[in-house]
Amino acid sequence: MNYPTQMLYKFPGKHDIHGDKFDYIVVKYNNEEIEKAISEGWALTTDEAKNSVNKKEELQIEHETFSDEEDNDSSDGVSDGDTVKESMKRGRKKKNK
């Protein structure tokens, strides 16, 4: 039985597509199949697949940078008597400098 299909992509991969290397799968063209695959990290286009990886890398770098700043600056930590709100305010003031 023939049914419509949709190709989905992950980057990087082992197949030459659009000048880069991608993995791909083919799923039935219905919302359930496509949404399940997207939730597992697949993308509708090769551009989306590449951008997804770039965004994850950017978020990881931001997280590492933020963690490093916290480790290196004891003045932003919660001190005795601080509430979480006070500690967060101090962190925002420093970030805005």
Q: CA angle at residue 31 from 41 to 50, to 5 degrees? A: 30
One-letter amino acid at 16 equals D
Give 44-70 as a DSSP string: SSHHHHHHHHHHHHHHHHHHHHHHHHH
Residue 39 to residue 42: CA distance in whole angstroms: 7
Domain boundaries, the chain: 5-96
**Can you give the pLDDT at residue 79?**
47
Arithmetic mean of pLDDT over the chain: 76
Confidence of residue 85 (pLDDT cuts 50, 70, 90): low
Confidence of residue 52 (pLDDT cuts 50, 70, 90): confident
Average pLDDT over residues 34-45: 93
Q: State the number of CA atoms in the 13 A half-sphere of 92 facing the CB.
A: 6
Residue 44 to residue 37: CA distance in whole angstroms: 10
